[in-house]
Structure 1
Amino acid sequence: MLGILCTLITALAGISGVTVVTQSPPDLTKSKGQTVTMDCNLGTVTGSTARWYKQVPGGIPQFVLFFYHSHSTPTYGSGFSSPKFTSKHTSKSDYSLIINDVGDSAVYYCETWDSSASAAVSHLFFSLCSDSTLPAPAVTLFPPSSEDLQSLQVTLVCLVQDVSVGFADVRWTVGGSPVTSGVFTGPAEQQPNKKFRMSSYLTTQTSEWSSDKEFSCEVSAAGTSASKKMKKSDCST
């Protein structure tokens, strides 16, 4: 029988000029039922608490627990308790959230308070649990508009539909090389069929498109992947 895998992916959220909260390692993969440890470094915000939140796809964030280095045990939010969730620390700025018997799909936030800037800063952990039998998302790649072609920059649109979970990793390549500059990916939205859709945009120089390089939008979600490729000559009449 094929097992269920849970992949943890990280993305940074913060405020300019505020201490950055970081996580290591950048990703983890665990089978259902195993234990996952997510490490959170509070940066220069020492002596503060690490607060953890959980958000299921389509839901609102739920407070899981907070932990202070001088406390012997975490303080839990409603509906959360040990041994399913626990925490530890190795220094005044290094904390961990430990999840036993992992198995659901959720986004986990590590947050602290930067009193010097009067702002909360957080790090996001995308926990995606999936069965390998889930279908791959549907990917459609749209070329630049005729109006775009009259300007110095063009925009390609990658429409991702029928994603089984509320998060997908979208990556662009141009001429076989990964690109991140000029890329914007919007949040997932739920479709009437309870699956999710999202759009990603790549803005680049018109000369790049005119050189007939191959543009590719690659999507990974819940252990599945799909991609679409396109170049200018494919659109010629």
Structure 2
Amino acid sequence: MLGTLCTLLTALTCGSAVTVVTQTPAVVTVRKGESATLHCNLGTVTGNGPRWYKQVPGETPQYMLRFHYSYSSAQYGSGFSSPKFDSKSSSETDYSLIINTVEVGDSAVYYCKTYDSGPVAVSQWQCCDCSHTDACCCHGTTVVFGPGTKLIVTDPTPPTPSLTVFPPSSEELQGDSVRVVCVAEDVSAGLADVSWLLGGNPLISGISTSSTQQQPNGRFRLSSILTIQTAVWTSGKDVTCQVTSSGSTASKTISQSDCSD
């Protein structure tokens, strides 16, 4: 009975909802050379400022900087510094990340993180005296991330990606489905959109696209696989791979007739 009461008191007195970190807008698009501003609201957190992270899809997130409204300036992670990167606050919970003179390589998803400190329920055996409900609680810290903001930097004169599309193998044609592979090279940014069309109509299923990988020349490479029914491929319909990055779009079309002897 005592244990049941203790557990109930813990649930009633120690429960604490974790703050919600919001980031706006969800997508920011700017031209190369301009400045980008990303916003973050820390909800109920005032004692901790945000930590900002940059993540190119498929790569490890990079810690950029931290800032609190009480700081005179931001504190930076390796590879990030002022005046290129900065952070400001308009209130105890509202912050912004500023990226000056953006480059195509700044295209990425940026995450805002903070720490929420508050009462947390502990295990039942640690509850010493249920007549004093504070004994059922301790203070803990929870890491809270925002949903991220996608930054897209467009280049007025971006290089056009180079596409190669590979038809299904002869072995695959013996089965019920086949794969068409699209390889894109010299993509200008680490963020790229890949789409497939069948007979000129967009496809939404059967698509698997890899993350981008940086090439020695600083540009990026990726691959995408479209899986379709063998009967669709042998019907002779055109299959098109389309890649868009930094405002530049390239497409490549192939059909079974192109592969005939």
TM-score bracket for the superposition, by shorter chain length: 0.5 to 0.7
| Residues 88, 97 of structure 1: 8 Å contact kept | no
1:175-227 per-residue CA deviation (whole Å, 9 max, x = no partner) reads 32322322222223344445432211112233332333321111123443211
Matched, 1:128 2:153: yes
Aligned to 1:163: 187
| Residues 32, 155 of structure 2: 8 Å contact kept | no
Aligned to 1:6: none
Q: Distance in 2 between matches of 1:184 and 1:23?
A: 29
**2:174 equivalent among 128, 150, 161:** 150
SS at match of 1:53: strand
Q: TM-score, normalised by structure 1?
A: 0.67
Q: Mark the CA change 1:101 to 1:161 in structure 2 (over 3 Å): closer, same or farther.
A: closer
Q: Distance in 1 between matches of 2:92 and 2:235?
A: 53
Q: Distance in 1 between matches of 2:253 and 2:152?
A: 28
Q: Distance in 2 between matches of 1:127 and 1:77?
A: 23
Of 122-131 and 180-189, deviating more is: 122-131
**Unpaired stretches in structure 1, ≥5 consecutive residues:** 1-18
Aligned to 1:206: 230
Identify the structure with the greater helix proportion: 2
Matched, 1:76 2:100: no
Aligned to 2:98: 98
1:32-84 per-residue CA deviation (whole Å, 9 max, x = no partner) reads 1x331224577xx7537543124689x9754223356xx45574214434684
Q: Mark the CA change 1:31 to 1:196 in structure 2 (over 3 Å): closer, same or farther.
A: closer
SS at match of 2:155: strand
1:136-159 per-residue CA deviation (whole Å, 9 max, x = no partner) reads 121011111222222222211001
What pairs with 1:170-185 in structure 2 (closer than 5 Å)?
Answer: 170-185=194-209
Matched, 1:225 2:224: no
Q: Distance in 1 between matches of 2:154 and 2:24?
A: 20
Specify the structure having the higher radius of gyration (Cα): 2
Residue 173 of structure 1 deviates from its aligned partner by: 1.8
Aligned to 1:13: none
Provide the aligned length of Structure 1 versus Structure 2: 211
Identify the structure with the greater strand proportion: 1
Identity %: 39
Q: TM-score, normalised by structure 2?
A: 0.62
